[in-house]
Amino acid sequence: MTDPVPRLPDPTTLAEPRTLEAVLGPVSDVSHTRLETPGFSGSTHTRLAVRMANGGTRHLVLKRTRVADDWLSARTDDRVGREGLLLGEPALSGIWDAFACPYLAWSAADGQVALLMEDLSAHLLPDVRQPIAEAHEARLLAAAAAMHARFWDDQALDLPWLTRPAQLLDLLNAGTLETLAPRGFPHPVVERASDGWKVAFARAPARAAALLRETPRAIAERGTGLPRTLTHGDLKVANFAWLSDGRVAAFDWAVIGACPVAIELGWHLSVNATRLPGSKEQSIARYRRLLEAALGRPLGEPFWKQTVDYAVLAGAAMMLWSKALALETGGRRAELEWDWWVERLAAM
């Protein structure tokens, strides 16, 4: 079991030498560099080069979030800082048996959350729209499956601040964005999603469009009866680091949730569409094998069909807008991606 991540009292001082000494030992000097990241939240990241008194240097990343200004927090009713709550919750420490923990310390006060992490830049995969190696996907899905199995119908899922399916499905929901439009969008990606849904509904078959016009709550209710587990919520390749010891480190837990695995699987298939090492069917089969191994039992065909169908619906409900926008410039690959989703939706 991983030791608890220490909580420090003041998020505004987490990069100061005296504060860092409480975590790292004697510090001589700290230099700061702003770090640009591919994420879409309102958080800021700073790379720290910490020169230690013994002559060595530690490379760290400090993530700061003002919860009230973060659109992801606002859209998922996070008023405290879900990522910090995760680090302070003993009932969720089993996460770090599945994933490597990159966090060294955290602090939350006065609406601010600060997270101090190891700088794992050297272990990130290139941020390009190209397939990753099959071995990389297998390691990521194995870690996710281990976490899913560990928290399968676990009591910790009742923690009130965990994200629920309807909240995730509501983030970029077409109907919700139509309501938001007169007041303006909180982030450029939300405006892009609004534009994308217009294109999607102009092209989608009637059955697919009808499904995606359902409210987030109604779509969430279609997963009723599927067991819940703990989900990362953003299983995007950029949120993980492949360590040399074989483990996968996970960060960006802003939408950690209590959801069916179908939500996680659907997001993986949709957000990582250009990163999958093979077909979506191969990724689905790979995850099933890993989940069954982690659970120690087979999953029946009726259950798995319901899971895959719901993964397709959830993935499309969250990301089909981006598939529609890609049709304008993406060529044949974008057309095949669009067809995969709408054909399966139309068959439901």
Contact between 251 and 239 (Cβ < 8 Å)? yes
Task: Show Cβ contacts of residue 287 under 8 Å, excluding neighbours closer than 6 positions.
Answer: 141, 144, 145, 265, 268
Q: How far apart are CA 308 and CA 167, in angstroms?
A: 20
Q: Which of 291, 228, 230 is nearest to 93 (CA)?
A: 230
User: pLDDT at position 164, please?
Assistant: 97
Q: What is the dihedral of CA 329, 332, 338, 342, to 10 degrees?
A: 140
Say which residue the tokens 């992490």 belong to. Answer: 117
User: pLDDT at position 75, please?
Assistant: 86
Say which residue the tokens 């094998």 belong to. Answer: 289
Contact between 60 and 47 (Cβ < 8 Å)? yes
User: pLDDT at position 1, please?
Assistant: 54
- Residue count of the chain: 348
**Model-level pTM?**
0.95
Q: Quickly list H helices, the chain.
A: 17-24, 71-75, 82-87, 95-98, 134-150, 165-170, 174-180, 188-203, 206-212, 216-221, 261-271, 280-295, 301-326, 331-346
Contact between 196 and 188 (Cβ < 8 Å)? no
Q: Count CA atoms within 13 Å of residue 119 on its CB side.
A: 19
Q: Which of 201, 146, 149, 151 is nearest to 173 (CA)?
A: 201
Residue 316, Cα to own-chain centre: how many angstroms?
A: 16
Beta strands at 112-118 and 44-52: parallel, antiparallel or unpaired: unpaired
Residue 75, Cα to own-chain centre: how many angstroms?
A: 15
Say which residue the tokens 């923990």 belong to. Answer: 101
**27, β-bridge pairs:** 52
Classify residue 40 as left (phi > 0), alpha (psi -120 to 50) or beta.
alpha
- The amino acid present at 117, given as its one-letter code, is M
pLDDT (tens place) for every residue of the chain, 348 residues total? 567 899 999 999 999 999 999 999 999 999 999 887 655 556 789 999 999 999 999 999 999 999 888 888 888 998 888 999 999 999 999 999 999 999 999 999 988 999 999 999 999 999 999 999 999 999 999 999 999 999 999 999 999 999 999 999 999 999 999 998 888 888 888 999 999 999 999 999 999 999 999 999 999 999 999 999 999 999 999 999 999 999 999 999 999 999 999 999 999 999 999 999 999 999 999 999 999 999 999 999 999 999 999 999 999 999 999 999 999 887 899 999 999 999 999 999
For 35, counting Cβ atoms within 10 Å of its Cβ (0-12 exposed, 13-18 middle, 19+ buried), the class is middle
